[in-house]
Amino acid sequence: MINIPKGTKDVLPGQAYKWRYIEDAAREVARVFNLSEIRTPTFEHTELFKRGVGETTDVVNKEMYTFEDKGGRSMTLKPEGTAGAARLFIENGLMSSPMPVKTFYITPAFRYERPQAGRLREFHQFGIEVFGSPSFETDAEVILAASSFLDRLGVSTKLELNSIGCRVCRAEYNKALKNYFAANIDCMCETCRSRLEKNPLRILDCKEEGCKKFIKDAPLITDYLCGECAEHFEGVKSLLTAQGVEFTVNPRIVRGLDYYSKTVFEFVSDEIGAQGTVCGGGRYDGLISDLGAAATPAIGFAAGIERLMLLMENTGANFPEEQKPRIYIAGMDAQTRGAAFKIAAELREKGISAEIDHMNRSVKAQFKYADKLGAQYVAVIGGNELASGVLTVKNMKDGTQAAVKCGELYSYLK
């Protein structure tokens, strides 16, 4: 027996409708916010993520599924959606279309992590990426889209907001962090030690208990923002406040990926254990130029679908019911089974879900089976029905019966 790989999940029959429900909500939000769907390959050149996500991140350092293909190229299964979306934007010349270019995607993502509740090796994201606008209205709109998505699903989360500044103010801040952490760096983890020189900001993202106590009192980015970044952040906050979106400023949010600048945010829940961030995002004005194209501002987010599902299940969300067969048509012998087959085929042509027996069951067993399937109506075809062309259609919910002519079955069920 070969088992499922660690950190991956099957979606069983009768479960996928929950996924579809979440995806439908995502697509509905995308529709009203005028976001266009994009799809990128499952694997990309490893270099894209090294440059796009950042060499000092956990994702690139520890978590990537990287392999050499038979042509000797290094490929990586996408660990997130933003780098691929940025590549798509550049490679297809979308920078010459009217800005902003507003996109969304629903994609699997792969990270070699220690599996636990809400942390998988293959997971799925609903992401939005908006390219080309530097304005704070766009930040507020993207955050509003995330908030509207979560509202539609009826989950309650807290929005935490921060600004991590631009390259200018971050240089100052990184200096301050370097000075601050230098005193205790020998007591911190190896990763933090290597980050001190390369990217001290990243230390704030460390999840080691031993490091957290030093991180607690580190200088705050909000004290180092330049005039422009401070003004931008005020703009975002005031638009959100005007829309009645509640948030708290958490100066400790830096996000796990290197490409962020200015606004960063997370929607967090305390109902799903340690992995509480269901949605995270921010502005990444430097990414497009890091990838070698003309500097283009951008902002986006990704929501983890498995974590959302967990949150919805833990808080007793009302998923709509899975679609059941509209009608089950039972035959008794070769001839009437043939008629059942034909009627079912005609109904399906017209868009009515119909089911028949596949297992040579008795009529009694077919009734039982139809009930198990949750069929709304059952019709039995015997010799009389065949001769008269009139079926007795039983409503399985209330037990009532109606005589319906074969030719009128469709309009009866429609």
312 binds, among ligand ATP, Mg ion, none (CB under 5 to 8 A by kind): none
Label residue 165 left, alpha or beta by phi (over 0 means left) and psi (-120 to 50 means alpha).
left
Helix H or strand E segment including 101: strand 101-110
When asked if residue 269 is in the footprint of ligand ATP (CB under 6 A), the reply is no
Residues 121-150 that bind ligand ATP (CB under 6 A): 123, 125
Residue type, 140: A
| Beta strand residue intervals within 258-395, DSSP E | 261-268, 277-283, 298-304, 327-331, 354-355, 377-381, 390-395
Interaction between residue 120 and ligand ATP (CB under 6 A): yes
* Greatest C-alpha distance within the chain: 94
Q: What is the C-alpha separation between 9 and 15, in angstroms, rounded?
A: 12
Q: Does 354 bind ligand ATP (CB under 6 A)?
A: no
Fill in the amino acid letter for 405: K
Q: Which helix (H) or strand (E) holds 402?
A: strand 401-405
> Judged by CB under 6 A, does residue 396 bind ligand ATP?
no
C-beta of 256 vs 276, nearer to Mg ion:
256
Instruction: Determine the interface stretch with ligand ATP among 165-173, 224-232, 304-312, 379-387 (rule: CB under 6 A).
Output: 304-312
Take residue 13 and report the two structure tokens written for it: 């029959």
Q: Nearest residue by C-beta to ligand ATP? A: 304
Site string for ligand ATP, 76-95 (x = CB under 6 A): ----x---------------
Q: Taking contact as CB under 6 A, which single stretch among the options 8-16, 210-218, 278-286, 368-376 is the one that binds ligand ATP?
A: 278-286
What letters, b where the CB count within 10 A reaches 16 and e where it falls short, cover 169-181?
A: bbeebbebbeebb
* Structure-block tokens of residue 193: 């030690």
- As a whole number of angstroms, the distance between CA 32 and CA 145 comes to 9
> According to the binding rule CB under 6 A, does residue 306 interact with ligand ATP?
yes
Residue 339 binds to ligand ATP (criterion: CB under 6 A): no
Cα angle for residues 145, 297, 176 (degrees, 5° grid)? 100
Q: Which of 9, 40, 113, 346 binds ligand ATP (CB under 6 A)?
A: 113
Query: Closer to Mg ion at the Cβ: 114 or 372?
Result: 114
275 binds, among ligand ATP, Mg ion, none (CB under 5 to 8 A by kind): ligand ATP
**Which residue's CB is nearer to ligand ATP, number 285 or number 306?**
306
CB of 301 to ligand ATP, least distance (A): 8
Residue closer to ligand ATP by CB (options 60, 379) is 60
Write the DSSP symbol of residue 387.
H
DSSP secondary-structure letter at 61?
Answer: I
Three-state secondary structure call for residue 56: coil
Which residue, 262 or 307, is less far from ligand ATP as judged by CB? 307
Instruction: Report how many residues bind ligand ATP under the rule CB under 6 A.
Output: 20
Q: Which of residues 203-262 bind ligand ATP (CB under 6 A)?
A: 255-257
Binding site for ligand ATP (CB under 6 A): 80, 111, 113, 118-120, 123, 125, 255-257, 275, 277-280, 302, 304, 306-307
